[in-house]
Structure 1
Amino acid sequence: MNSVKLAEMDWMSYRDRVKDGECTILLPVGAIEQHGPHMSLNPDVLIPEHIACRVAERSGNMLVAPPIAYGYKSQVKSGGGNFFPGTTCVSGRSLEEYAYDVILAYVAHGNREFIVVNGHFENSMFLVEAADRAVKHARLSGVAIKVVLLSYWDFISEATIEKVFPEGFSGWAVEHGGVLETSIMLKIHPDQVDMSRVVDVPPAEFPPYDVFPPDPSWVASSGTLSSPAKATAEKGEWILEECIERISRTFS
């Protein structure tokens, strides 16, 4: 079997591939979260997994672990909020413990280098804590490991943003379910996007604070924080090519 997805390997081939600790494990982490009526619930899982697989294929010395699909609670000002049906989230503690356990399980197999590829903004600091704890735990056991944590959107340059948004970019804070994610999904999973159901909404505007319980009136009823109407598969290709190339070059 010739696959960069370690779950598709038999256990003996996997054992032989990782036993010397020189193979890097890429761990995609996302969320099941509404992305408007035009798109499936899983872009935050499918996008980092796709990017991880393409990076691994270029490397030749990386394997992609099955993604962690459930992420931290969707926040109103970044993901529309946790009150939309289908948005299925876990606590920060649960995500931290899950990622921590998964990393240490792979350490027990002999793996020593990891790249956590995040696809859901709200996950970030809980993954930081999981990585930090895993490194310290391994060190106390006499094992040195390295964990890199990245979010794929940080590898998108201003030049590409200007190309994707020639009329001006409203900012990352309102891109949930907007042009960027929709364009990428049109490129990699067009069967999970229905552009006829796009709701054309203006970029969301939020007050400079959060409130609990969250106020649903802060978010458009579509769940998106900006309009995906101008998304295209071509734009998705531009974004992906840059992300994959820059991540590959950074960790080659």
Structure 2
Amino acid sequence: MAVVTALRRAVASKTCRFESVTRLIRNRHELRKDGRSRRIRTPSAGDADSVRRHRLEGAPSVAVLGDFIGPTNRSENRQATGTDHPLPVVRRTVVLSSTSEGVFENVLIAGRPRRDMESDERITLTDLTWREVEAAVDAGRTTVIVPIGATEQHGPHLPLETDSTIGEAIARRLAGRRTDALVGPTIRFGPSHEHDQFPGTISISSSTLARLLEEYVASLERSGFERVVLVPSHGGNFSVVETVHRELARSSVVDVVAIADLGRYLEFLNEGLERADVDHREPVVHAGAIETALMLAVAPESVRTDRTCAGYDGPVSASELYRDGIDAYSETGVLGDARPATADAGATILAHLVDVYSAHIDAEFDALDAERDGGR
């Protein structure tokens, strides 16, 4: 109820407004003209295009209101609500249930909210207290983006946490384009047995990762989150994520979207490298120009620039790689050539990847919403 109080104060102070009443909702059910009702989780984005007002005779009036404009900075937020609790700062759709006296009783977020740039708000789940998580869910942050990395060697110039750091950067930027998302704790281990010959690598089995993902999503569901996006950034995790995604899609109450195509991931990375005008292509991405550029862009202090080198840059047999390990190809652990990498190239690669992933996530959630609405 904290967010309801905050919204009430914000409306009273005229620092936000509501427009576009679109549907009649009560107790999380849509009331149809034939008198029947259907349970909903969130209304679809398309409903905000229709501006209609509804009233149910003899019962509290309930409406979906779109285009919520909230305080634009922390100072206005404090003035409007008397708290530092972050209210939405961009256009979004809100479900408000009200009595005839106009008292807000329930708040839900609908539609596909997004923002044009990354926010300076705390969007990482582990940065929040449990009360702040509860308030965030009440305010509509019901999507969690989960980075799935690894702890494994990345040559003599990149740290063991490279895959996890890159995954976190992708997840933060994906969340920064939405107003309904938080970044979940990074999973920092995956199947990395092909790197076992290099000290420091920590590898877990595919079945262990699969079980971890299932338990992770179940925990988010218990906390009230409604959507989860799985974002692997280590090649060995993609097949596991794909398998787990199929199971979660059937068994989980939450909507789960997964980035699970390793081939497409490598293609997008190389497209970004090309867009950065780097005349180099990596058929296998590991500690070469692409990952070194990404790390220069997001964590430059961790790159040992005096140790960048060329590694094996030819074709790789997956069977041989998993059987004999990466050191069968490269004594340094590098596949590709790290020397062409620049921070600007890394920023270009990252922006391209986030553009593609954002569009994919939107399309997947739209399809799930359409399927749900089609079942009415």
With normalisation by structure 2, the TM-score equals 0.58
Q: Flag the 1:50–1:129 CA change in 2: closer, same or farther, 3 A.
A: same
Task: State the distance in 1 between where 2:202 and 2:272 align.
Answer: 32
Paired residue for 2:257?
148
Paired residue for 1:78?
none
- Contact 2:148-2:164 at 8 Å conserved across structures: yes
Q: What are the superposed Cα offsets for residues 193-243 of structure 1, whole Å, 9 maximum, x if unpaired?
A: 011112223404435743775256522111011110111101001111112
Deviation at 1:168, TM superposition (A): 4.2
1:235 aligns to 2:235 (yes or no): no
Q: Secondary structure at the match of 1:210?
A: helix
Q: Secondary structure at the match of 1:148?
A: strand
Q: Flag the 1:109–1:170 CA change in 2: closer, same or farther, 3 A.
A: closer
Paired residue for 1:136?
250
Deviation at 1:158, TM superposition (A): 6.2
Paired residue for 1:85?
199
Deviation at 1:12, TM superposition (A): 1.6
1:101 aligns to 2:239 (yes or no): no
Paired residue for 1:68?
187
Q: Flag the 1:58–1:212 CA change in 2: closer, same or farther, 3 A.
A: closer
Q: How does 1:67-216 map to 2 (within 5 A)?
A: 67-75=186-194, 81-138=195-252, 143=253, 145-150=254-259, 153=265, 156=268, 159-164=271-276, 166-171=278-283, 173=284, 175-207=285-317, 209-210=319-320, 213-214=323-324
- Contact 2:145-2:231 at 8 Å conserved across structures: yes
RMSD of aligned Cα (Å): 2.5
Determine which of 124, 143, 146 is the counterpart of 1:24.
Answer: 143
Matching residue's letter, 1:148: V
Please identify, of 184-193 and 11-20, the stretch whose mean Cα deviation from structure 2 is larger: 11-20
Q: Flag the 1:127–1:249 CA change in 2: closer, same or farther, 3 A.
A: closer
Which structure's relative contact order is higher, taking Cα pairs within 8 Å and 6+ residues apart?
1
Aligned length: 240
Higher helix share: 1
Q: Flag the 1:7–1:240 CA change in 2: closer, same or farther, 3 A.
A: same
Task: State the distance in 2 between where 1:33 and 1:98 align.
Answer: 19
1:218 aligns to 2:328 (yes or no): yes
Matching residue's letter, 2:223: H
Task: State the distance in 2 between where 1:121 and 1:212 align.
Answer: 12
Q: Flag the 1:243–1:193 CA change in 2: closer, same or farther, 3 A.
A: same
Task: State the distance in 2 between where 1:215 and 1:13 align.
Answer: 45
Q: Percent identical across equivalent pairs?
A: 25
Task: State the distance in 1 between where 2:175 and 2:300 align.
Answer: 23
Unmatched segments (≥5 aa) in structure 2: 1-84, 86-120, 363-376
- Contact 2:293-2:342 at 8 Å conserved across structures: yes
- Contact 1:177-1:226 at 8 Å conserved across structures: yes
Task: State the distance in 2 between where 1:250 and 1:215 align.
Answer: 33
1:58 aligns to 2:177 (yes or no): yes
Deviation at 1:160, TM superposition (A): 3.0
Determine which of 9, 32, 37 is the counterpart of 2:156.
Answer: 37
Q: Flag the 1:213–1:168 CA change in 2: closer, same or farther, 3 A.
A: closer
Please identify, of 112-121 and 240-249, the stretch whose mean Cα deviation from structure 2 is larger: 240-249
Task: State the distance in 2 between where 1:182 and 1:222 align.
Answer: 14
Paired residue for 2:131?
12
Deviation at 1:74, TM superposition (A): 4.0
With normalisation by structure 1, the TM-score equals 0.85
